[in-house]
Amino acid sequence: ARSLSLFISYFQTGSCLVVKTEGGLEEELWPQEYPACGGHRQSPIDLQQNQVRFNPALRALNLTGYQEDRLGQFPMINNGHTVQISLPPTMRMTAPDGTEYVAKQMHYHWGGASSEVSGSEHTVDGIRRVIEIHIVHYNAKYESYDIAKEVSDGLAVLAAFVEIQEYAENTYYTNFINHLANVRYTGQITTLRGLDILDMLPRDLQHYYSYEGSLTTPPCTENVHWFVLADSVKLSRSQVWKLENSLLNYQNETLHNDYRRTQPLHHRVVEANFRSFPNQRE
């Protein structure tokens, strides 16, 4: 049998480890190089609403500093896998159990390989949304992200879906989308100014799903507390198209379908602090 040689290079910043191999490293091969990717607490998952456990004790997430740094500078990079924005440590999220997390970075997952392909990582009752936003945080009791990413209670991700609202441009995204041209090629960096992260999230931040999972890219570490918002951001079809078609990957091909397929739930329980969400689309 012919041996398979994998030539792996990576660029890591925040939680996004971008794996590149000669010929590409397919998802099915991840566990060979990163054993955690074959674990039983992997993300993303399908959020099956009839299996979600209602937990009224899950209070609203407390977000601080998300709207206060409008004059700040936010480095943004095309890391070959997605577009990633570095966030200031003044941005914090407090979970229902009182754990405080420090924001590290935010990035996006999208489809776009054809006009019908959506690209969220999590699905709801089997339905994949157009885009998914991830804001990666680390536990404030640790000195840095690099330390926190190695421990069992180290990370938390606030996730939100994006849906298309025809002909209704979301002006809160204009600054971000206009700068995508500056990071077309892998490794390019630009700086966003006057960014209001809170405005780039759904209007309703009260209702969410919660479960224990992993990073969705290698090394797939199983130390992530996920908070997936029930409400969604609305972008116009034109804005979605620009995000889906502005960046090139390591092979100078348009970066499409940068999402991982859903993983088995196994014995985990998904909780939510709502029974039904009235604004959710059928």
**Residues classed as catalytic:** 81
Sequence-separated contacts (24+) of 32-39 with Cβ below 8 Å: 33/6, 33/8, 33/218, 34/218, 34/219, 34/220, 36/214, 36/219, 36/220, 36/221, 36/222, 37/218, 37/219, 37/220, 39/214, 39/220, 39/222
Rounded Cα distance between 21 and 27, Å, is 12
Rounded Cα distance between 158 and 91, Å, is 12
Q: Is the peptide bond before 31 cis (omega within 30 degrees of 0)?
A: no
Rounded Cα distance between 276 and 279, Å, is 9
Q: Structure tokens of 252?
A: 């100078």
Q: 3-state SS of 79-117? A: CCCCEEEECCCCCEEECCCCCEEEEEEEEEEECCCCCCC
Rounded Cα distance between 139 and 149, Å, is 9
